[in-house]
DNA sequence: ACTCGCCCGTGACACTTGTCATGCCGGCGC
DNA sequence: GCGCCGGCATGACAAGTGTCACGGGCGAGT
């Protein structure tokens, strides 16, 4: 009986090593590669053709979400498990749309990781239970592309005038979009709006 | 020859388990306890009296920095290593003031963790080299306690009037403090000021 | 005793921000 | 073709924000 071959992508080297050590303790799993970002992961996928890819979301070079989408089209035999800190419905939705089969939070017990790998390898889906419930109850991203673009800049501390110059719009229009975003999100001002959008994974 | 006894405090269960697995691979180290927050860590310290405590900074109940300070006074035989994501000079400074002997970033290679544990156990100091250099060049926290308190709330999206009510000050005074903080940090507005302060580890 | 720093407050002013009404254009569905 | 929606824009007003000048009190250090 051959073991399940796993590739891990995670930008924090120490966590990457620790996760590898964790899975090394499982007799039916083999860590066949490690990657520090999305680009490295693609190279390793080509070379190793692993059964399962475990990836973080927020990484430099290429996020785990785009990596998941790439993997589905170019390496359909490899199942993807997202492993992240963020319990954001927006992230979960995007992960599933990108073809990920698993979505696991870093605050779950360590034993669940190996179990999740086995289950997606058997063709099952593994979604963090709490998050799954919340995602169903939670509304989807109400922001337009423009609103997102402008709200993001506002969240960085830029003024309406600065944003207007950056995106080639009039200052009044920028304030319009912000006003729209604020009311859609039920916030009191641009700061709170940015905070809410970030927290839901819409920014 | 007896092995070094290590206690790990980290709020993300999976990372906690993975770090334990990582250190379990070292023959001269023994993981004698695990804690999901500062309070649990104190209980484990009392029960186990480990040689070395590895702790994250941002944890619920009690941060790693206050945990480090408590450890120095109540369990002086235990050396503390801070293990965190954040390369913030302010955090490093506070960690050293709290008596920590090591400050390691989660993006260092996994092998450095065990090595750091051995070195602090021998009485050496272990500071992330890049961060040490940066910390020396970087100025220290210019904010007063009041300014920090108010700037933090402003960063959450609260208005001056709301903050005034929360901290029992007049609205004008709140705007005064914010104005002070903004100018100290060289920011253009409260949002940017909060961002800068957060990034430097002053909030 | 005196100064200095932090704390607390006021009032006034200029500027930024949030809202609303209103309008124009282009694409999409029916 | 018509309505609707998203994007783009303007002007005007109210509310919120940032700055400045000024005042008072308290505790620590010289």
* pLDDT tens digits, A66-111: 999 999 999 999 999 999 998 888 888 889 888 999 999 999 999 9
Question: C-alpha distances in angstroms, A173 versus A149, A160, A177?
Answer: 13, 9, 6
A184/C15 CA-to-C1' distance in Å: 27
Q: What local confidence, expressed as pLDDT, does residue A38 receive?
A: 92
B83-127 per-position pLDDT tens digit? 999 888 888 888 888 899 999 999 999 999 999 999 999 999 999
Q: State the pLDDT confidence band at B202, using cuts at 50, 70 and 90.
A: confident
Q: State the pLDDT confidence band at B139, using cuts at 50, 70 and 90.
A: low
Q: Which nucleotide is nearest to B169 (CA to C1')?
A: C8
Of A19, A192, A195, the CB nearest to B18: A19
Q: State the pLDDT confidence band at B136, using cuts at 50, 70 and 90.
A: low
Q: Rounded CA gap, A7 and B42, in Å?
A: 37
B145 touches chain A (CB under 8 A): no
pLDDT at B135 over 70: no
Q: Is any atom of strand C within 7 angstroms of residue B148's beta carbon?
A: no
pLDDT at B10 over 80: yes
pLDDT at A1 over 70: no
Q: What local confidence, expressed as pLDDT, does residue A114 receive?
A: 96
- Chain A, 150 to 169: residues with Cβ < 8 Å from chain B are 154-159
Q: Rounded CA gap, B81 and B58, in Å?
A: 14
Q: How far is A21 from chain B (nearest CA, A)?
A: 5
> Greater confidence, B152 or A2?
B152
- Cβ(B34)–Cβ(B7) under 8 Å? yes
Domains of chain A, with CATH numbers?
4-136 (3.40.50.2300), 145-200 (1.10.10.10)
A8-58 per-position pLDDT tens digit? 999 999 999 999 999 999 999 999 999 999 999 999 999 999 999 999 999
Q: How far is B57 from chain A (nearest CA, A)?
A: 15
Of A20, A106, A156, the CB nearest to B14: A106
Q: Is any atom of strand D within 7 angstroms of residue A144's beta carbon?
A: yes
Q: Is any atom of strand D within 7 angstroms of residue B3's beta carbon?
A: no
Residues of A whose CB is below 8 A from B21 = 18, 21-22, 24-25, 110
Among A10, A15, A31, the strongest candidate for a mutation testing the B interface, having the largest count of B CBs within 10 A, is: A15
A101/D2 CA-to-C1' distance in Å: 45
A91/D5 CA-to-C1' distance in Å: 27
A172/D11 CA-to-C1' distance in Å: 9
Mean pLDDT over B55-68 rounds to 92
Of B15, B105, B155, the CB nearest to A18: B15
A194/D15 CA-to-C1' distance in Å: 20
> Greater confidence, A113 or A199?
A113
Mean pLDDT over B166-172 rounds to 89
Cβ of B108 and A17 within 8 Å? no
Cβ neighbours of residue A94 closer than 8 Å, sequence gap 6 or more: A65, A201
| Strand D nucleotides in reach of protein CB atoms, 7 A cut-off | 6-12, 16-21
């Amino acid at each position: 009986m051959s073991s399940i071959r796993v590739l891990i992508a995670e930008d924090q080297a120490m966590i990457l090593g620790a996760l590898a050590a964790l899975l090394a303790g499982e007799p039916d799993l083999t860590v066949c590669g490690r990657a520090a970002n999305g680009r490295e992961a693609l190279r390793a996928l080509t070379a190793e053709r692993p059964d399962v890819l475990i990836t973080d979301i927020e990484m430099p070079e290429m996020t785990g979400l785009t990596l998941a989408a790439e993997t589905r089209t170019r390496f359909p035999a490899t199942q993807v498990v997202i492993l992240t800190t963020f319990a954001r419905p927006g992230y979960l939705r995007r992960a599933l749309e990108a073809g990920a089969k698993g979505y696991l939070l870093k605050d779950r017990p360590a034993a669940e990781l190996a179990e999740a790998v086995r289950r997606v390898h058997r063709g099952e889906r593994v979604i963090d239970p709490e998050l799954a419930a919340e995602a169903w109850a939670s509304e989807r991203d109400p922001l337009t592309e423009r609103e997102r673009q402008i709200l993001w800049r506002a969240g960085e501390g830029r003024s309406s005038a600065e944003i207007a110059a950056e995106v080639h719009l009039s200052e009044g229009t920028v304030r319009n979009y912000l006003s729209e975003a604020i009311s859609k999100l039920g916030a009191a001002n641009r700061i709170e709006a940015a905070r809410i959008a970030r927290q839901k994974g819409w920014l």
